[in-house]
Amino acid sequence: MEPSDAQTLAGARETRPTWPAPLPASDDTRPLYDRIQDVIALYPERKSAVVPALRLAQDEYGWLSEQAFDAVADATGFTPAFCKSVASFYDMFRLTPTGRYEICVCTNVSCALVGAAGTMRAFERELGIHPGETSEDGLFTLKTVECYGGCGWGPVVSVNERYHEPLPAEQVPELVARLRADAEPDA
Amino acid sequence: MTTDLRILLDFDGDRRDIGDYERAGGYRQLTKALAGAPEDVIAAVDGSGIRGRGGAGFPTGRKASFLPKDRKPAYLCVNADESEPGTFKDREIMLRNPHALIEGVITMSFGIGATSAFIYIRGEYRAEFEVLMTALQQARERGFVGADVLGSGYDATVVLHRGAGAYICGEETALLSSLEGERGQPRSKPPFPAVAGLYAAPTLVNNVETLASVPYILEMGGAAYAEIGTERSKGTRVFSLSGNVKRPGNYELPLTATLRELIEGHGGGMPDGRTMKAIIPGGSSAPILMPDQIDTHIDFESIAAAGSMAGSGAIIVIDDRTCMVQLALRVSEFYKHESCGKCTPCREGTRWGVDIIRRIEMGEARQGELDLLLNVCDRILGNCLCPLGDAMAMPVASYVTHFRDEFQRHIDEGGCPFTEHSPISGLYHEPAAVS
Ligand SMILES: Cc1cc2nc3c(=O)[nH]c(=O)nc-3n(C[C@H](O)[C@H](O)[C@H](O)COP(=O)(O)O)c2cc1C
Ligand code: SF4
Ligand code: FES
């Protein structure tokens, strides 16, 4: 997010990086099958493409449904069961439908020491759901996650894979309101 | 002043743009290396004495020399999985100095005769992935990456591979399983990756910081690099400082510095006039050090001699409000969640550990369960296929050893005496009980 603020006293060499603007979404509109073939071509062995293919399928379908697994299996030449066994190992694969905004709150040690519990509770209050649940309107899924690698800038939260760091509890209502407004521009 | 030396991050802002990196002398070492013999690269790295920055601290030059010279294909795998709790330094290196990593990767690939390099970056690091993708594209356009690098005849293929969320994939053999498209489970060693790694080919796995240091080592010369640091811990290291400290962040320091210089000098000490309760000196798997050990030096040997490990270079400062049982619970829950389930002591032991600690925190534990907890830790230690089991047992045992009274109070009083003040409380107790 923002570069380090005035908290950094003269002489200290804390050098928080500035984050680049996100790259634009891929404009590759070819079928999933063809895009997976490109990925397969990058590796000496086809199987290495399974995880990247699952990611492409998840982006396409929103979550890894039966249909998504069939598509990955077809395109990579492995069985759906194999693809499922791989997917279930990794936390970022969604095996159930997820809200439009997936909110992940890091509750590991460094974040917990600087207020992650408050941030997590604030999301519970604002969204009316507990971690692991999706709001009834299908807008939000709340999750707690393990260390995100932003420990010095905690509490760390991601919204659809983009980090917000730090996101203290007080800023949660504003963020949620903004996401709601973005989801319903006319409301 | 001994702590005033930076190598890897010795500039303000970032050098994401290849022009900025080249103006600062970037890619010259690659150009020079390609004009010489591959062995010269390995000799310089070996001479620098640098030890792996990923956690295990194995001498990098020696590891590279284990690869058989004549077996092809051979691979270099970059470990950018950074997930040991408390660690966020590789990320800063990738965000601010991505071309140093790329130059290091290509130079090292040339040194070991690798036919391709794979950068395994944790799936959550999306911005960092995009930075590397852009940087790689620039490097390709300038001829530093791709077929026939700078007309040398050496082909450097680099594949950027995103993980999908699993801490264990940072363990090098699990990383290889994951990169091959399997569940990320560790493999027993031997065979070591140098002999049978990725796709059963000779493979070198190195951490981001280790590889990003290579261009600087070549620039300075191995011998000059080896003059920095202690007898067995050479160079500088980027330390991730977090927890209850005024100025958390990444600080690059020579390996002669002390924890005090880092925590009080650079980090500004404890916020709001609080006092320190403990220090985690090497990521959450490291046993804790006590406040009176703050003058310990931050090199590998000194931290080991103090009873812990330098690990991933992540220093977490814990203040006096923190409940050590809650800390133990949070740490053990993490390792339980990340246990891949391949071997019994880890799969069962991490579960047992969490269950007992949870009972202690909730006031449901019986007398004697503290010894049961230590017994579980003891049965894990040294009995697992990979170090993950130990990564839970070591810190938890250290918390109990140093704060036994605090654990015992939970049992005696039938609950947590610190719910009101401990910053972690809110994760385990209803908000009403939390101030
Ligand atoms: C459970 C576990 C997790 C690990 N996670 C990482 C990691 O995220 N990044 C890393 O570089 N090394 C990690 N390591 C260490 C690697 O196994 C390996 O030693 C390292 O990548 C080698 O590179 P280096 O010699 O340059 O340090 C981990 C080890 C274990 C046992
Ligand atoms: S120690 Fe744990 S993570 Fe490592 S192989 Fe055994 S079960 Fe898997
Ligand atoms: S502990 Fe939250 S990002 Fe590391």
User: Ligand 3 pocket, A150 CB below 6 A?
Assistant: yes
Note which residues in 227-266 of chain B have CB less than 8 A from chain A: 240-244, 246-252, 266
Which of A117, A149, A152 is closest, CB to CB, to B427?
A117
Going by C-beta distance under 8 Å and a sequence separation of 6 or more, which residues neighbour residue B187?
B173, B174, B176, B177
Under 8 Å between Cβ of B149 and B107: no
* Upstream peptide bond of B190 is cis (omega within 30 degrees of 0): yes
Which of A45, A109, A149 is closest, CB to CB, to B316?
A109
User: Among residues B130, B110, B97, B117, which one has the least CA distance to residue B15?
Assistant: B97
Q: Please give the radius of gyration of chain B, using alpha carbons only, rounded to the nearest integer.
A: 22
Under 8 Å between Cβ of B17 and B137: no
Q: Where are the beta strands (DSSP E) in B233-389?
A: 236-243, 249-254, 276-280, 314-319
Ordered domains of chain B (ranges, CATH): 18-227 (3.40.50.11540), 238-315 (3.10.20.600), 324-412 (1.20.1440.230)
- Residue with token string 């390099």: B117
Helix pair angle (B404-413, B344-362), 10° resolution: 60
ipTM above 0.90 for this complex? yes
pLDDT at A18: 80
Atom of ligand 2 nearest to the CA of B341: 7
Distance, in Å, from the CA atom of A11 to the CA atom of A5, rounded to the nearest integer, reads 14
Distance, in Å, from the CA atom of B116 to the CA atom of B119, rounded to the nearest integer, reads 10
The greatest distance separating any two alpha carbons of chain A, rounded to the nearest whole angstrom, comes to 59
Residue B190 burial (10 A CB sphere; 0-12, 13-18, 19+)? exposed
Decide if B182 and A115 are in contact by the 8 Å CB cutoff: no
pTM above 0.90, yes or no: yes
- Which residue type sits at A111? C
Chain B residues inside the 8 Å CB shell of A7: 246-247
Decide if A109 and B247 are in contact by the 8 Å CB cutoff: no
DSSP A159: E
Distance, in Å, from the CA atom of B314 to the CA atom of B239, rounded to the nearest integer, reads 6
Low-confidence ranges of chain B (pLDDT < 50): 1, 433-435
Decide if B182 and A9 are in contact by the 8 Å CB cutoff: no
Give the CB-side neighbour count of residue B133, counting CA atoms within 13 A. Answer: 14
pLDDT at A145: 98
Residue B71 burial (10 A CB sphere; 0-12, 13-18, 19+)? exposed
Helix pair angle (A32-40, A66-76), 10° resolution: 50
Q: Which of B285, B381, B388, B394, when mutated, tests ligand 2's pocket best, judged by the most ligand atoms within 8 Å of its CB?
A: B388
Handedness of CA A107, A113, A119, A121 (dihedral sign): positive
| Span A118-154, pLDDT tens digits | 999 999 999 999 999 999 999 999 999 999 999 999 9
Ligand 3 centre distance from Cα of residue B194 (Å): 32
Q: Which of B51, B84, B240, when mutated, tests ligand 1's pocket best, judged by the most ligand atoms within 8 Å of its CB?
A: B84
Distance, in Å, from the CA atom of A47 to the CA atom of A57, rounded to the nearest integer, reads 16
Atom of ligand 2 nearest to the CA of B174: 5
Q: Which residue of B has its CA nearest to A43?
A: B159
Residue A11 has pLDDT above 50, yes or no: no
Note which residues in 21-60 of chain A have CB less than 8 A from chain B: 22-23, 42-52, 54-55
Length of chain B: 435
Which of B9, B125, B423 is closest, CB to CB, to A113?
B423
Smallest-distance ligand from the CA of B168: 1
Pair of tokens at residue A5:
């603020």
User: Ligand 1 pocket, B168 CB below 6 A?
Assistant: yes
Length of chain A: 187
Ordered domains of chain A (ranges, CATH): 32-89 (1.10.10.1590), 98-186 (3.40.30.10)
| Span A22-61, pLDDT tens digits | 888 888 899 999 999 999 999 999 999 999 999 999 999 9
pLDDT at A4: 39
Q: Please give the radius of gyration of chain A, using alpha carbons only, rounded to the nearest integer.
A: 19
Tell how strand B236-243 and strand B249-254 pair up: antiparallel
Residue B24 burial (10 A CB sphere; 0-12, 13-18, 19+)? middle
What is the distance, to the nearest Å, from the Cα of residue A169 to the centroid of all Cα atoms in its chain? 19
**pLDDT band with cut points at 50, 70 and 90 for residue A14:** low
Under 8 Å between Cβ of B75 and A44: no
Distance, in Å, from the CA atom of B328 to the CA atom of B395, rounded to the nearest integer, reads 8
